Amino acid sequence: MKYCFVEFQVDDSKRFNDLCKVFNEIKKDKDNNFWRNEEDWLIFFDRKALSHFWWTSEEEETEYFRRWFATPVEQRWTDPSLETPWDFYSMFDAFQNGEYQLIACRMVSANRAKLEFEPFNYPYGGTGAIQALVESFDFIILAEDDGTGYTKFNL
């Protein structure tokens, strides 16, 4: 069966195994519809992986939203200064609420892997959380098939 996927470059087998461990735990929680506490996810990520996420103080978050709402609506989504990494806990919320089944995280060649999923319907929540998870282990996203067709990313 052909699944939707996010394809990425793998250049570190240990990091890939670490990613697979997290993926399998997310898949288990999603399949069972029983999600562990947010803080329990921290043990699956080393400092390097955690550094990819947005960890704001209350003051930083207040300042960010002040700038967000001060920016004209038509510029908010394209202003690079307003782009932020994923919030760690929001990523898990997106996995929990995404309307798809996680299938597998597997190598497809010597240096490429796919994280595969099957949407239940459209819209299903998109691939943002999947990409954030993959990138947190320092892998580069090469392409995706999100159900609307294959898209190769410009590197």
Q: What is the pLDDT of residues 137-146, one digit of tens each?
A: 999 999 999 9
The pLDDT of residue 155: 64
- Whether omega before 85 lies within 30 degrees of 0, making that bond cis, reads no
> Is 72 a member of any domain?
no
Q: Which domain holds residue 124?
A: 4-54+85-152
> Is 143 a member of any domain?
yes
> Is 73 a member of any domain?
no
> Is 127 a member of any domain?
yes
> Is 61 a member of any domain?
no
Average of per-residue pLDDT values in the chain? 95
Q: Which of 11, 17, 44, 19 is nearest to 134 (CA)?
A: 19
Tell me the β-bridge partners of 150. 145
Low-confidence ranges of the chain (pLDDT < 70): 155
Q: What is the pLDDT of residues 130-139, one digit of tens each?
A: 999 999 999 9
> Is 45 a member of any domain?
yes
